[in-house]
Homo-oligomer: A and B are copies of this chain.
Amino acid sequence: MFKSVGLVARYDNNHALKLAEELCEYLRSQKVEVYAEETLDGRADLRAEFIPLRLMKPDFLITIGGDGTILRTCIEVPKPEPPILAVNKGVRGFLTEVEPKDACAAAERCLKGDFRIERCCKLAISTEGETIPDGLNDVVVSAGEPSKLLYTQIIKDKEPILRCQSDGLIVATQTGSTGYSLSAGGPVLDVGVDAFVLTPICSLTVFRSLVFPAETKVTIKAIRPKDTLVLVDGRYRLRLKSENAIITITRSKNFTSFIRFKDDFYGRLRNRLLFKGMG
């Protein structure tokens, strides 16, 4: 089944690097070809070929880290994306599936085909000819500076529907609805809902989250100021300098696929809702 794997790990965490080494040895012992992200070269002792993420085309991926590592991987890896086994070695692991101690057993199940695929919708984003990576969680359109009002018009397909003065607008997928959009006051979309959600950040205008059908084309016209930021999955940043910048968002034809052993969306949601770090 799976004959090759790509290994991605946080390189700022010794446990993650150690675990990458273990997994590499195990996978090689199972005759699986191992590619490692080039940033691991010199940091982990891996008997693997080091290549950049953007060239990696394995049968599946193993990420060792938190949600940040997953989001970064999905932005860079060639499409269509190979399925991801996400090992939790991060501060927030809402998207991850297994704990480090279960990583090798999980890899074994992957090789046996003993898993389920959770296929997650992504957002296709376009603006003025720029190539922008798809978003797994969300895209944020904001002013270029924090806490600065952005004047926007929201257009559904061709119809201007609302104007909004806010710090920015978040458009999130079902997956992303438990992330930044939730922090901004948005609802949680069940994975089965074929929709995405637009949530304003600190809106001066009276405004609420809007849930759109996934096939809607939502256009955000950023009227003022000229300095606008488009932020995909909290990682990819594009600065626009034109007045009336137009950002168009709709469902992508691409997906991110997670390898899952249990169906635990709501278990993960409960942890997310109660996220602490309040000390």
Q: Which residues of A contact B (CB under 8 A)?
A: 92, 140, 142-148, 151, 153, 156, 159-168, 177, 180, 182-190, 192-195, 197, 199, 201-213, 216, 229, 231, 234, 237, 266, 269-270, 273-279
Contacts and interface: CB of A to CB of B under 8 A. Distances in A.
B274 A274 contact: yes
Contacts of A276: 205-206, 274
Contact of A278 (B145, B205, B210): B205
Contacts of A211: 177, 187-190, 193, 195, 197, 211
B213 A162 contact: no
Contact of A212 (B145, B190, B213): B190
Given A146-B229, A147-B234, A184-B202, A207 B162 contact: no
A273 B278 contact: yes
Contact of A162 (B160, B182, B201, B279): B279
Nearest to A272: B204
Contacts of A140: 146-147
A140 B275 CA distance: 23
A51 to B, nearest CB: 29
Contact of A195 (B193, B210, B234, B270): B193
Contacts of A160: 279
